[in-house]
Structure 1
Amino acid sequence: MLTSPLPNNTAHIQSLINARRLYDSCVNETAIELESINTILSFVNNELGGWPILQGSSWNSSSFNLSRLLLKLREYSHNILYGCGTSPDDKNSSIYYIRVYQSDIGLEQRTNYENLRITTAYQNFIRDLARALTNDTSTIDADVTEIYNFEKNISKFHWTPAEIRARQNETVRTTIGNLSQTFSTSFDFTNYLRRVYSLANINLRDDDIVSISELDFLRNVTTIIENSSSRLQQNYIVWRFIMNRVGNMPKRYRSIRDPFDEAYRGTTAQRPRSIICGNFINSNMGFALSKIYIQQYFDENARNQSLEMINNIRNTFLEMLKTSTWMDEISKNRSIEKALAIDEKIGYPDYLGSTNTSTLDKMYQDYVFDASYINNVLKLLQIKSNESLRILRDPVDRKDWGSSPPTTVNAFYSPPRNQISFPAGILQMPFFNKDAPKYLNYGGIGAVIGHEITHGFDDSGRQYDKDGNRISWWTPETIAKFNERKQCIIDQYSRYVVTQINMTLNGFQTQGENIADNGGIKESFYAYQNWVQTHSNMDKQLPGLSDYSAEQLFFINYGQIWCSKMTDANALNRILTGVHSPGEF
């Protein structure tokens, strides 16, 4: 789609032309080598105030300004130390509000800072990259030690996914006008947020709602910053920017990261450049690519069959709700209303199937690129930041297609929209084939459909009503009985062992996905059995598999879609940071 000639009826679409131009700049290693690191270092020096580790004792701290540095990086989509952005209001799903939250950290989880192999590789990564970028190595070793110790200190207060899940009720809701009284720190969050949103020409009002989460992290990081030198703050913050941009540098600089990735992720080689660049374009301009994908590769029959399966599986779920013995009638009836209100999106948004390209043109009107890959990346980061900020005043269209393009191989449930979506990319083997026996499709995409429906009623989804508002809509009695039952899931998965690294799963952290997995397979299997009752002898046997019943093949295909292979390092990361259990479970 990115290299073959465009179909005649799409050759004029500007977003596709620009997507291919961006791809060409990404795969053009010769041009990337010629441009070298001049552009990125110029940006660091002129826009960010330099990276002290490269300048030795000559770096001048007199012009350092923390808020200004963080603001410049936020303009380029980098939330470092403090995260902020726009999200649907969890109490009123028809509008957006502002979120303030903990940023990510270099090694993702605080436990990784106790792993000597990983931390050694991480410090070597910083050191080796700095040495490759400068001739002045006089302060590199001391600076690397300070950068690492600063981040390790921060990591002690960084919330894990399990802690974020368990402590949602600690989130504070306030307004811009009251922010400094509600959340008092030495860092002026009110002024910072006003300046961030002014980047997108949004003037914040005193009554704009702000949600603050992970308060302990934000307060402690602010204290750590207060007790750190301006050189250390500048060194660390710019390092985090550089770390994220290594992948955009020439190959000899990208390869410096390889030993760290081997220690941290277990990977021993970089993917082919064409794959990296294809994923990059799909992540950033996927709806443009989808225009070609649905025309050339997507079978419209998949939409109709998927809708039929959704209806069948939802009806099965409704029957399960009606026969539930632990829910009282009030909670049961409200759950039925929510299940019936679930909006489904299948394949692609309608505008991509139309000859009218105005929606696509408007979506990507700023995505105009040239031959310089790094300039294109920096421009793209600005565009994405602006997009995330300027929607604050827009109403939320709860019936709109979500942010993931049709070329995504995944499926989603959105609590604020009460919406399930199945992009065209997942409606293919092994999940789905229009000519496959129903037992395979129900064991594949059917289980995924059930999984996403169940998300609306898992430990997180059950906190949102049918209109996507996070309010208490089950009775306290039903909530108590739900918590008893979810504890059974937590305990069950906490006993599972990933044998290749001899570690147990985190049943609390993965509970939402495990509830959805268990509900999804059950709903899909019952729905398939109901389908068989009205379509007897319609499902054909597959050659060489006549020894297996249709029900067995249902579960065999379900097992097949979760086949996977992990490195030890990846398995460890999955357990520490993932909300999904490994495929075998």
Structure 2
Amino acid sequence: MKKLIVGGLCASALVLAACSQTDTAQTPTAEAVQKALGSGIELQNFDNSIRPQDDFYGYVNGTWLKTAEIPADRTTTGAFYDLREKAQADVKAIIEELAATDGLEPGSDEQKVADLYRSMMDTDTINKLGVTPLKGEFDAIAALADKDELSAYIAHSQIIGGGTPLAFYISVDAKDSSRYATHIWQYGLSLPDRDYYFNDAERFVKIREGYLAHIEKMFELAGLPNAKASAETVMAMETALAEHHWTRVQSRDSEKRYNKYNVADLPELADSFNWARYLDTLGVAGEKAIIINQPSYIEGFGKVFGEYDLDAWKTYMTWQTLTHFAGQLSTELDEENFDFFARQLNGQAEQKARWKRGVDKVNGDLGEVVGKVYVKRHFTPEAKARMSELVENLRRAYGESIDDLEWMSPETKVKAKQKLAAFTPKIGYPDRWKDYSTLEVKADDLVGNSMRAAKWSHASEVAKLGGPIQKWEWYMTPQTVNAYYNPTMNEIVFPAAILQPPFFNMEAEDAVNYGGIGAVIGHEMGHGFDDQGSRYDGDGNLKNWWTEADLKAFQERGSKLVKQYAAYQVFDDLNVNGKLTLGENIGDLSGATIAYRAYQMSLDGQEAPVIDGMSGDERFFIGFTQIWRAKYKEEALRNRVATDPHSPSQFRANGPLANMPEFYETYDVKPTDAMYIAPEDRVKIW
């Protein structure tokens, strides 16, 4: 990264212990360092020049921030990203064992994994084929006779994994969580966000210039005619679509996104588009209703669809096909695609090693096949049992915290606790695995494999319509380093791969684990009660369960959090978007607050042991802060601030702590310290 994202004033020494409450520290002994490392505290990352009261994130991670180097094939490094690299290497070992095996039974899961990986690694065949794997699609686009056929082709493009101006999907009906419904989301842009097409700042002007040149170059490399004119057409059409896109802040609003239309009434939104052909091609012609997330976008899309002639749309769809499959084509096309979207846009210096991309491909298309083996090798029953215990401890702490809320009425507390009790935790891996038996995979057909996988996925989704909710389904594989909350199923999900140090350490003592994975658990629980998750009841329905006064009090607290984060400066010319990040910031604040409470409850009234001079509270706050360490390329961080609902990592650590009275007490934070927020301005939600 060109500019380190580290704040704070210079003072104090590396703190091993209670010195965190003063400005001096003793030099730790080698034995103390070894003990602390064994407990999960990563002392080697501390910075002895930063006072914890000024910048706790820099204090805990500062030496690492100064010395860590972002690998050339990444735009970010840190706790999450290093663990993802480990998971990737673990999966590689599984895949390569299969890929090295001869005589695998045709059609078996093992054959599919091995051949999918081989198809990604066989660059000789990929280069020999060039753009040929897309010839059938290019010919189909060229042969479109009218816009009715174009409407059907747009659906076909989605089914095979190509680009389209509309994103169709199947999901639980947010106002009737007992059934699945069809949905449409705005889509069709290649730059990260609508504002990239309109912002007049020099950076965005250069991005648009680079994108236009990139489109032209890709058309040339693919041997397609009229490259320059085609690029200008694509840019004009994407810009026209972008004008109608909702902002990311607008698209966060669950209520405003829920717009159920009778299919028969869709022409009232966009009469130039043949909805019947579109939906029939998708295989959902029998559906009577559809949920439109951004109705004004559909209206705008209808205008753009009508205003641009068939030839322009053919050019646009040709581009969408080419750019969506570019990374699986010849080295020339692959490198040009990388050069713009990774190097120019995000500052990534080098392509990922081919094997990493092969692992990503297998994880994406056959993730649960390798996930079964991954779990057997890397996730113990003991870890699952310990994690289950932690989840229930956090749930109990959350319940007691709700009881203690001064701003919430007894009536709403009852509803909140009913929702909390209804949370379904999923830990490690699915109880029921996906069946890939109908998916065909060939060792010499990478693009074909991708298209068949997309078709298989689409068919699996459409098959849900009219059936029971598949509550066993996971939306992340076990080898994913992440977690999520699903509001329409009211579930919190923790894949096996995140349940490792520094998030979850079976060898570490409780304070560090509660600060790490405990805060992650609390974060996902917090999403059930963030500004959007709180709109869903315990059954997963978008339904108000708040009294009017309580909802107003809750929203006032959210507004204060928006203001706090909007004041955080990422660069001299760029601050955090407090409205875009509100849900995640509530999750982070809830996670730290509830995890701390759960840790205190785990002590059962006993004083936490002092380990190497550090109190239990200190170890908790350190454990929480070290999981957020991250270092970014400037280009990537700027894109994240524009598009990512998560705040940059230093604010994910410092932001919650600056609101916690317990942090002030532990580190004796004074009004003159940089992290100080006046008591009346601190935010406590849950």
- Give your verdict on TM over 0.5: yes
Q: Which moved more, 1:152-161 or 1:166-175?
A: 166-175
Secondary structure in 1 matching 2:168: strand
- In the alignment, structure 1 residue 194 sits paired with structure 2 residue 274: no
Deviations 1:334-361 (A, max 9, x none): 101110111111111234xxxxxxx55x
Q: Counterpart amino acid of 2:634?
A: D
Alignment of 1:164-563 (within 5 A): 164-166=251-253, 168-169=255-256, 171-180=258-267, 183=269, 185-197=271-283, 202-205=284-287, 208-261=288-341, 262-351=343-432, 360=434, 362-398=435-471, 400-499=472-571, 502-533=573-604, 541=611, 546-563=612-629
SS at match of 1:2: helix
RMSD: 2.3
2:610/2:616 contact within 8 Å kept: no
Query: CA separation in 1, counterparts of 2:148 and 2:221?
Result: 25
Partner of 2:181: 97
Equivalent residue number for residue 681 of structure 2: none
1:195 CA displacement = 3.1
Aligned partners of 1:302 and 1:433 also within 8 Å:
no
1:77–1:385 contact (8 Å) kept in structure 2: no
* Conservation of the 8 A alpha-carbon contact between 2:485 and 2:492: yes
How many Å separate the matches in 2 of 1:3 and 1:428? Answer: 23
In the other structure, the counterpart of 1:57 is: none
Question: What's 2:32 paired with?
Answer: none
What displacement does 1:151 show? 1.2
**1:95 aligned counterpart, secondary structure:** strand
Q: What amino acid is aligned across from residue 251 of structure 2 in structure 1? A: I
Cα shift at 1:528: 0.8
User: What is aligned with 1:53?
Assistant: none
The superposition leaves residues 317-374 of structure 1 with CA deviations (integer Å, 9 ceiling, x where unpaired) of 10110011111111110101110111111111234xxxxxxx55x3443244343222
Counterpart Cα distance in 2 of 1:37 and 1:533: 65
SS at the partner of 1:584? helix
What secondary structure does 1:387 align onto?
A: helix
**Is residue 163 of structure 1 aligned with residue 250 of structure 2?**
yes
Cα distance in 2 between the residues matched to 1:44 and 1:350: 39
Distance 1:376 1:93, change over 3 A: same
> Matches of 2:381 and 2:303 in 1, distance apart?
57
Distance change in 2, residues 1:167/1:365 (3 Å):
closer
Q: Deviations over 1:237-274 (max 9, x none)?
A: 22012111110012122111233132211112110010
Q: Deviations over 1:402-435 (max 9, x none)?
A: 2211111111111011111111111111111212
In structure 2, the partner of 1:354 is none
d(CA) in 1 for partners of 2:308, 2:205: 25
Contact 2:173 2:181 in 1 (8 A): yes
Aligned-residue offset at 1:104: 4.0
Aligned-residue sequence identity (percent) comes to 26
Moved more, 479-488 or 64-73: 64-73
SS at match of 1:533: coil
User: Are residues 1:122 and 2:216 paired?
Assistant: no
> Residues 178 and 217 (structure 1 numbering): CA distance in 2 closer, same or farther, change over 3 Å?
closer
1:109-148 equivalences under 5 Å are 109-113=193-197, 114=199, 115-134=204-223, 139-148=226-235
Summarize deviations over 1:103-159 as a string: whole Å, max 9, x none. 14111312212311111111111111111122x75x322221122122112212211
**For residues 499 and 429 of structure 2, what CA distance do their matches in structure 1 show?**
11
Comparing 30-39 and 528-537, the one that deviates more: 528-537
3-state SS in 1 of match to 2:444: coil
* Matched-pair contact (CA < 8 Å) for 1:94–1:397: no
Partner of 1:225: helix, strand, or coil? helix
| Structure 1 unaligned regions, length at least 5 | 51-59, 352-358
- Aligned with residue 640 of structure 2, among 574, 577, 585: 574
- How far does the alpha carbon of each residue in 1:288-334 deviate from its partner, in whole angstroms, 9 at most, with x for none? 11111111121221111111111111111101100111111111101
For structure 2, the 5+ residue unaligned runs are 1-93, 652-686
Q: Is the 8 A contact 1:317 1:523 kept in 2?
A: yes
Letter in 2 for 1:169: K
Provide the rounded CA distance (Å) in 2 between the counterparts of 1:167 and 1:299: 38
- What is the TM-score normalised by the length of structure 2? 0.76
Q: Against the structure 1 CA distance between its residues 363 and 449, is the aligned structure 2 distance closer, same or farther, given a 3 Å change threshold?
A: same
Q: Verify the 8 A CA contact 2:628 2:650 in the aligned structure 1.
A: yes
Report if aligned partners of 1:64, 1:230 keep a CA contact under 8 Å in 2.
no
- Given that residues 270 and 302 in structure 2 are in contact (C-alpha distance below 8 angstroms), is that contact kept between their aligned partners in structure 1? no
Q: Distance in 2 between matches of 1:118 and 1:348?
A: 41
CA distance in 1, matches of 2:549, 2:334: 56
Sort the Cα spacing of 1:367 and 1:417 in 2 relative to 1 into closer, same or farther, 3 A. Answer: farther
Q: Among residues 130, 134, 138, which one is paired with 1:45 in the alignment?
A: 138
How far, CA to CA, are the matches of 1:527 and 1:121 in structure 2?
51
SS, match of residue 498 in structure 1: strand
Instruction: Flag the 1:452–1:431 CA change in 2: closer, same or farther, 3 A.
Output: same
Distance 1:47 1:455, change over 3 A: same
1:568 offset after TM fit, Å?
A: 1.5
* Equivalent-residue separation in structure 1 for 2:437 and 2:413 (angstroms): 44
Structure 1 stretches of 4+ moved >6 Å = 60-64
Q: Which amino acid aligns with 1:275?
A: K
Q: Distance in 1 between matches of 2:100 and 2:430?
A: 20
* CA distance, structure 2, for counterparts of residue 307 and residue 188 of structure 1: 50
Work out the CA distance in 1 between the residues paired with 2:521 and 2:257: 32
Alignment deviations for residues 75-121 of structure 1 (CA, whole Å, 9 cap, x no partner): 21345112222110111111101112211411131221231111111
| 571-580 vs 160-169, greater mean Cα deviation | 160-169
SS of 2:600's partner is helix
Question: Partner letter of residue 279 of structure 2?
Answer: L
Moved more, 64-73 or 433-442: 64-73
Q: 1:17, CA displacement in angstroms?
A: 2.6
User: What is the SS of the residue equivalent to 1:565?
Assistant: strand
2:147–2:273: 8 Å Cα contact kept in structure 1? no
Shift of 1:194: 3.1
Distance in 2 of aligned mates of 1:484 and 1:220: 34
- Structure-1 separation of matches of 2:241 and 2:532: 28
| Distance change in 2, residues 1:195/1:374 (3 Å) | closer
* TM-fit CA distance, 1:519: 0.6
Q: Aligned in 2, Cα 1:340/1:320: closer, same or farther, shift over 3 Å?
A: same
- Once the two structures are superposed, the pairs formed by residues 23-42 of structure 1 within 5 Å of their partners are 23-40=117-134, 42=135
The answer to whether residue 111 in structure 2 is matched with residue 17 in structure 1 is yes
